[in-house]
Structure formats: structure tokens, C-alpha cells
């Protein structure tokens, strides 16, 4: 009995091994790129992403990383995920690059017409509502999470989060994208009401930098946009200038640096 079962088990292993190799051969014929170079160039461009929007005393700060990936390949390492909707309202895009661009383009168009009709700048709430209607009504086809932030003369600085299904939620701060998973605890501890502009911006840069350190789908540079009654300011923080976190290594620019150093030991931690 025991030997029988053992033999059966061996047979199963051999059979499953055989099936495994068969499946490899089959998939190889379908997408060779995937097996050979670990890259599927036919995969849709997705922005793994970390996006953040934070209100402060007088306006809002929006922040994002800059990595756009196609599978494991980084298609764009310096993308700008914070796009303009109107003079006073911007949106952080995450998820499918194409979906988020199309939604932003539609809403920019609607808001432009709305501004002309109204005779004054659109409010952040209206911009967020238009985004929400598109996201919700096309939820079967779209895959994009957005954070709308801006300033208007009635409500001041406002942040609205519009995650995947098309909910609209007004928040004092919002985080999104794959990298945001690593920031929930951080914000619970570090967020406070009524920060100054510089405090808020430093918070955003620190948060994006932490997410980049842990999330493979986020990386590159940190971009921020500050919006208040005076206008809009764009800032740029190169990746190699960001603070190093736990277990992060110093960037090595060239092997020659290692060889020319007094103690040429690669992997010198």
C-alpha cells in the first residue's frame, strides 16, 4: 500500500513536471518577449505610482512620483503625473496611464466651457464632480484612481479623492496609487491640521520618498504642485537628492568610482 502510494506520488510529480514544461512551451510561443527578457511590451502602460494631496492653511500641495511602467520595464522614469485642469485646479493621476489621461482631457474640456459660461473660475468641487461622473459611469472600462486638488475663492484649498469605483470623497489629505499602501500609518502619525505651506510640502516630499523606497512600481523624481490664492508653483526634487531611508544604499554612479576608491570593494555596505 505504502509503496503503491509512493509510486503514485512519484508518477504525479513526473506528470506535473511534464505538464509544467509543456505549459512553458505553449506560453513561450505566445509571448516570447515575456520569457526571454522578462518584459511584456504589449502590456498596458500602468503608473504603479504614489500620489498625494494635502491641504494646508491657505491652499493645497499635490505630490507624485514619476515612474510609468509597462510590466516590469520602466517606460518613462520622469513622467509628470500632476496635470492641469484649470488655472486653479490640478489632478494627480494613478492607475492606467491612458485612462487617466483621457478622463483628464474630457474634464479639462468640460471645465473650459463651464468657465466661459459662468464667467468666473470653476470651483474645485465642480472639477471633482465631473471627474467622478466619468469614473463612476464608465467604471466597467476604466482603471484609474485620481486626486483632485485646487483653490477657489469660495471654499479655499480643497482635496477630493476619487478612487477606482468612482466614489467622491472630500478629505483634508488623500493618498493613492500602489505606493500609498506604505503611507497610511505614516500619515496617521505625521499629519496635522493647519500646517504652513513649507511644512505641508516637506511632508509630501518625505512621504513620496518613503513610498518610492518600498514600492517597486514607484520611483524616479518627486514632483509637487502648490496651489493657493496667489497662484500655482511647480517644484522638482531629483531622486538622488532625496534623503536615504533604512537600508537604502548610497547611489553609485560608476564602477570606476568603486575601483578608484582607496578600498575597492564592491558591495561595501
Partner 1 sequence: MSSIGTGYDLSVTTFSPDGRVFQIEYAAKAVDNSGTVIGIKCKDGIVMGVEKLIASKMMLSGSNRRIHSVHRHSGMAVAGLAADGRQIVARAKSEATNYQSVYGEPIPVKELAERVASYVHLCTLYWWLRPFGCGIILGGYDRDGPQLYMVEPSGISSRYFGAAIGKGKQAAKTEIEKLKLSEMTCREGVIEVAKIIYKVHDEAKDKAFELEMSWVCDESKQQHQKVPDDLLEEAKAAARTALEEMDAD
Dist CA 172 CA 236 (whole Å): 23
Torsional class of 74: left (φ above 0), alpha (ψ -120 to 50), beta (otherwise): beta
Q: Which of 49, 50, 123, 218 binds partner 1 (CB under 8 A)?
A: 123
Q: How far is the CB of 96 from partner 1 (least distance, A)?
A: 24
What number of chain residues touch partner 1 (CB under 8 A)? 14
Q: What are phi and psi of 236, to 5 degrees?
A: -135, 130
The DSSP-derived string for 5-38 is HHHHHHHHHHHHHHHHHHHHHHHHHH-HHHHHHS
d(Cα 192, Cα 72) in Å, to the nearest integer? Answer: 36
How many C-beta neighbours within 10 Å does residue 91 have? 27
Nearer to partner 1, 108 or 214 (CB): 108
How is residue 198 written as a grid cell? 513649507
Site residues (CB under 8 A) for partner 1, limited to 97-116? 114
Of 129, 138, 171, 233, which lies in the binding site for partner 1, with binding defined by CB under 8 A? Answer: 129
C-alpha cell at 93: 493621476
Q: Which of 82, 126, 200, 222 binds partner 1 (CB under 8 A)?
A: 126
Binding mask 168-207 for partner 1 (x = CB under 8 A): x---------------------------------------
Q: Which of 67, 81, 125, 223 binds partner 1 (CB under 8 A)?
A: 125
Verify binding: residue 130, partner 1, rule CB under 8 A: yes
Among residues 3, 13, 32, 49, which one is catalytic?
49
Task: Show the binding pattern over residues 146-175: x = contacts partner 1 (CB under 8 A), - = does not.
Answer: --------x-------------x-------
Of 67 and 125, which CB lies nearer to partner 1 in the complex structure?
A: 125
Please list, residue by residue across 20-47, b when 16 or more beta carbons sit within 10 angstroms of its beta carbon and e when fewer do. eeeeeeeeeeeeeebeeeeeeeebebbb
| Measured distance CA(145)–CA(168) in Å, rounded | 11
- Does 260 contact partner 1 by CB under 8 A? no
Q: Which three cell numbers stand for residue 136?
A: 463612476
Query: Active site includes 49?
Result: yes
Comparing CB distances to partner 1, the nearer of 54 and 128 is: 128
Residues catalogued as catalytic: 49
Q: Which residues bind partner 1 (CB under 8 A)?
A: 114, 117-119, 123, 125-126, 128-130, 132-133, 154, 168
Amino acid at each position: 500500500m505504502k509503496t503503491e502510494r509512493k509510486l503514485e506520488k512519484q508518477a504525479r510529480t513526473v506528470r506535473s513536471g511534464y505538464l509544467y514544461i509543456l505549459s512553458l512551451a505553449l506560453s513561450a510561443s505566445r509571448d516570447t518577449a515575456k520569457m526571454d527578457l522578462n518584459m511584456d511590451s504589449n502590456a498596458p502602460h500602468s503608473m504603479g505610482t504614489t500620489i498625494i494631496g494635502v491641504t494646508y492653511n491657505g491652499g493645497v500641495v499635490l505630490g507624485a512620483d514619476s515612474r510609468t511602467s509597462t510590466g516590469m520595464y520602466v517606460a518613462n522614469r520622469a513622467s509628470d503625473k500632476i496635470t492641469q485642469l484649470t488655472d486653479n485646479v490640478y489632478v494627480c493621476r494613478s492607475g492606467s496611464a491612458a485612462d487617466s489621461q483621457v478622463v483628464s482631457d474630457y474634464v479639462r474640456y468640460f471645465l473650459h466651457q463651464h468657465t466661459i459660461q459662468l464667467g468666473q473660475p470653476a470651483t474645485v468641487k465642480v472639477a471633482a464632480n465631473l471627474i467622478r461622473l466619468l469614473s463612476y459611469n464608465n467604471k466597467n472600462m476604466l482603471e484609474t484612481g485620481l486626486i483632485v486638488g485646487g483653490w477657489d475663492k469660495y471654499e479655499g484649498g480643497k482635496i477630493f479623492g476619487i478612487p477606482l469605483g468612482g466614489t467622491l470623497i472630500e478629505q483634508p489629505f488623500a493618498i493613492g496609487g500602489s505606493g500609498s499602501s506604505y503611507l497610511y500609518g505614516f500619515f496617521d502619525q505625521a499629519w496635522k491640521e493647519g500646517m504652513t505651506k513649507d511644512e505641508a510640502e516637506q511632508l509630501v516630499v518625505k512621504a513620496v520618498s518613503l513610498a518610492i523606497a518600498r514600492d517597486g512600481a514607484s520611483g524616479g523624481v518627486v514632483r509637487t504642485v502648490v496651489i493657493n490664492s496667489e497662484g500655482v508653483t511647480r517644484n522638482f526634487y531629483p531622486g538622488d537628492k532625496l534623503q536615504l531611508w533604512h537600508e537604502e544604499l548610497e547611489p553609485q554612479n560608476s564602477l570606476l568610482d568603486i575601483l578608484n576608491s582607496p578600498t575597492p570593494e564592491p558591495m561595501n555596505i
